[in-house]
Amino acid sequence: MFSILGAVERQFSTFLAARSVLPHRRLSHVVTALGDSRVAAVYADLNQRIYSGYSPLNWANALSDQRMVIGTTFGVSGDRTDQALARLSAAIATGAGTLYIQCGLNDIAQQYPTAGTSGATAAANIMVMAEAARAVGMLVVIEIEVGSSAMNTAALVGQVVELNERLYEYAERTPGVHLHDARPIVLQADYSATALAYRTNYTYDGTTHVNARGAYYWGKSLATLLQAIMSPRFGMRIINRADAPSNGRRNYLDSPVFVPATGGTTQNGTTGTLPASWLGTKNAGATVAFSTQDDAAGNGKNIVMAATFAAQADYGRIFQDVNPANWDNGEIVEAVAKVTVNSPNNLATVYLNAQANIGGTSYDNMCLNSPAAQMGPDEAYTVTLKTRPFLLPAGSKGWLSCALWAQGYGAGGASVVAHHMAMRRRDVAY
């Protein structure tokens, strides 16, 4: 029996190889993205170290326990689909298993190649991207074109409709191609038959680009699709006190599950109790009280940061500096934290930062950072935050720290519950 099964397996593998369709050739949870400024918003910096809170893809990942690996992306502000096509080969060459596509808006806005053919042209170019990705074994996720509030004529709106209808018909008959439609999430459904408009407080420019609040709700919808097509992967790996610097320096931080529950340090007028090795601080305008509680899943303790903001950019922060003896130049680090945000009121952002200062230069590596001048989510949520792996450069050691920030958009506040928080040493980057 075993010899027959072995022969069948070998025959099947030969069959697949002959057609260049290898099982598990690409991993669906490894993602790259191609498109315009809305794809460029995956990162807040040109070095692609800061996952932006303006990106629905980043929110979807955080809401899905970081099941995705989002590496290098290829978004350029102002690009049409024909210009994005020039970066298709580079996106495929990353080895990612999923290609996330968002573009078409600029074709229509620029009436390329003509006012009456921009929607059809954009659809055709997006299909070229998708077919190239499918040919190498990638899944494809295409964002339906949401459009812009600047599209306020029947002719412009008609081209958006043309683009989207072509994408729908393409996806419904094409294996491995998935559409996500955020229009019901972020647009005013009853605004106008000949114009598009975003929901109030969902954009930072009033026309085209979502802020952290709009990105959160968009990402919440996108997460439902991605969770259905991608296999679960570990986001949070810290499970007990054994993940300590003394055990191989795989985790740089003491007390990643916040045990012992007392012994930490409050600074700059903050009050309450923090776990051993952890510090809490704030700016002068904020009022911040810390406490600890049992983790509901039985995994150590939680830190509760009750923050009240008097004005925009007020903040509270939980952090720990890594002992210089516990890290070395040339190592690869990433930070990770599981966080619940309750009762957000005029909240701008809650984000994680793994910051290194080496040779007098500071390097920020953030997850879900967005400016204090923009509104964040207005409902309770739980996310896993994870920074992109960072290679610590050569040079004299300054500091290495891991910090969880809560920052206000205006007078208000939030209760931020940190379940676990760690900084890991990795063998490889992405």
Write down the domain spans for the chain. Answer: 25-229, 265-426
Evaluate if residue 352 carries a pLDDT over 60.
yes
Q: Closest by alpha carbon to 42, among 29, 58, 31?
A: 58
pLDDT score for 9: 39
Q: How high is the pLDDT of residue 8?
A: 35
Measured CA to CA, the distance from residue 316 to residue 271 in angstroms comes to: 11
CA distances from 369 to 52, 128, 192, 391 (A): 5, 33, 34, 20
Average pLDDT of span 209-218:
98
Residue type, 86: A
Query: How many CB atoms within 10 Å of residue 46?
Result: 8
The CATH code of domain 265-426 reads 2.60.120.260
What phi, psi does 363 have (nearest 5°)?
Answer: -125, 115
pLDDT band, residue 235 (cuts 50/70/90): confident
Q: Please state, in angstroms and rounded to a whole number, the distance separating the CA atoms of residues 59 and 42.
A: 10
Q: Is the pLDDT of residue 21 over 50?
A: no
Q: Are 366 and 404 in contact (CB under 8 A)?
A: no
What per-residue confidence (pLDDT) applies to 243? 84
**Tokens matching residue 364:** 């920020």
Between CA 375 and CA 357 the distance in angstroms is 30
Averaged over 359-367, what is the pLDDT?
98
279, β-bridge pairs: 265, 319
What is the tens place of the pLDDT at every residue in 146-179?
999 999 999 999 999 999 999 999 999 999 999 9
| Range 25-229 has CATH code 3.30.2350.10 | no
Contact 281, 293 (CB under 8 A): no
